[in-house]
Amino acid sequence: MRVAKRIAHAGLCSRREAERLIAEGRVAVNGRVLESAALDVMPDARITVDGKPLPEPQPTRAWRHHKPRGRVTTHRDPEGRPTVFEALPEDMPRVVSVGRLDMNTEGLLLLTTNGELARHLELPATGWLRRYRVRARGKVDQAALDKLKDGVTIEGVRYGAIEARIDKVQGANIWLTVGLREGKNREIRRLMEHLGLSVNRLIRVSFGPFMLGDLPVGAVEEIKPRVLADQLGPELARQFALGGRTGHAKAKPPERGKPPRRKAAARGARR
């Protein structure tokens, strides 16, 4: 198995992030610091990252998380900003996110113990639609939004087909529902700016078949492995060893000392 894939399987990070760690000289195999990710490793290889042994692989599990505004989707932030992961319940295993939401975006963030699964789900080729509620200042008509269905190029960057509809006008603001499959960096904000709108609230409400529902802000709720397996299909379920676990973790608040949690939504997917 390629060393970056092995690191991702251990749930330390995604394969792409593992390749970056290797390029930075932070990964060693059997005491030798790697200079390239082009290396296959045996099951008994001793792998360290930043001098620490690689964690034992975790069973593949996944959660829905209601990310609040004001947190960055990274394990360590060089600017010292609050992160998503430091606010998770202490009894959760180490997880990685399926894609990212920027600091001022809120809503559904999928988490998993398997970095390879995270990488698979975030790829545009997977075809899962991500839906957002968007509040923006300005005016736009449905005809202008409909033109996004053919994609658009902004400052040399090509954005694929986007679904967008007007939900309501509220004073100087307009509420939209936007759906896309790529998820480029700040994609929705740039698209709205292209249309003359200024986004002041952005909420992801679904990622593929999984919905935010009424999951409380900051809470996490485990997705039943069989539900996840059904959505991935038999081949991928076998690849990621899904379907063997039972049970369903209840939603938990992100930090101690907060008000008692409300009961989270029981839905993990729209069937």
84-132 confidence digits (pLDDT tens): 999 999 999 889 999 999 999 999 999 999 888 988 898 888 889 999 9
41-83 confidence digits (pLDDT tens): 998 899 999 999 988 777 889 999 999 999 999 888 889 999 9
Question: Which residue, 86, 84, 81, is CA-closest to 68?
Answer: 84
pLDDT over 70 (residue 138): yes
Please report the pLDDT score of residue 49 as a whole number: 94
Question: Which residue, 159, 157, 96, 79, is CA-closest to 124?
Answer: 159
pLDDT over 90 (residue 152): yes
In this structure, how many other beta carbons lie within 10 angstroms of the beta carbon of residue 202?
22
Greater pLDDT, 245 or 149: 149
| Distant-in-sequence, close-in-space partners of 90: CB < 8 Å, separation ≥ 6 | none
CATH 3.30.70.1560 positions along the chain are 129-207
Q: Considering the chain, what is the average pLDDT of its residues?
A: 87
Q: How confident is the model at residue 8 (pLDDT cuts 50, 70, 90)?
A: confident
CATH 3.10.290.10 positions along the chain are 3-53
Handedness of CA 204, 232, 120, 160 (dihedral sign): negative
pLDDT over 90 (residue 14): no
Please report the pLDDT score of residue 264 as a whole number: 41
- Domain boundaries 62-125+209-239, corresponding CATH code: 3.30.70.580
pTM over 0.85: no
pLDDT over 70 (residue 248): no
Phi and psi at residue 110, in whole multiples of 5°? -85, 140
| Distant-in-sequence, close-in-space partners of 51: CB < 8 Å, separation ≥ 6 | 28
Identity of the amino acid at 111: L
- 3-state SS string for the chain: CEHHHHHHHCCCCCHHHHHHHHHCCCEEECCEECCCCCCECCCCCCEEECCEECCCCCCCCEEEEEECCCCECCCCCCCCCCECHHHCCCCCCCCEECCCCCCCCEEEEEEECCHHHHHHHHCHHHCCCEEEEEEEECCCCHHHHHHHHHCEEECCEEECCCEEEEEEEECCEEEEEEEECCCCCCHHHHHHHHCCCEEEEEEEEEECCEECCCCCCCCEEEECHHHHHHHHCHHHHHHCCCCCCCCCCCCECCCCCCCCCCCCCCCCCCC
- Domain boundaries 3-53, corresponding CATH code: 3.10.290.10
Please report the pLDDT score of residue 202 as a whole number: 98
Please report the pLDDT score of residue 243 as a whole number: 55
- Domain boundaries 129-207, corresponding CATH code: 3.30.70.1560
Burial class (CB within 10 angstroms; exposed 0-12, middle 13-18, buried 19+) of 55: middle
Asked which of 3-7, 13-17, 196-200 is least confident by mean pLDDT, the reply is: 13-17
Residue 23 is encoded by which pair of tokens?
Answer: 């390029």
In this structure, how many other beta carbons lie within 10 angstroms of the beta carbon of residue 33?
11
The answer to whether the CB of 242 falls within 8 A of the CB of 228 is yes
Query: What percent of the chain clears pLDDT 70, i.e. is strictly above it?
Result: 89
Residue 251 is encoded by which pair of tokens?
Answer: 């939603």
Q: Which residues are catalytic?
A: 102
Please report the pLDDT score of residue 265 as a whole number: 39
Q: How confident is the model at residue 16 (pLDDT cuts 50, 70, 90)?
A: confident
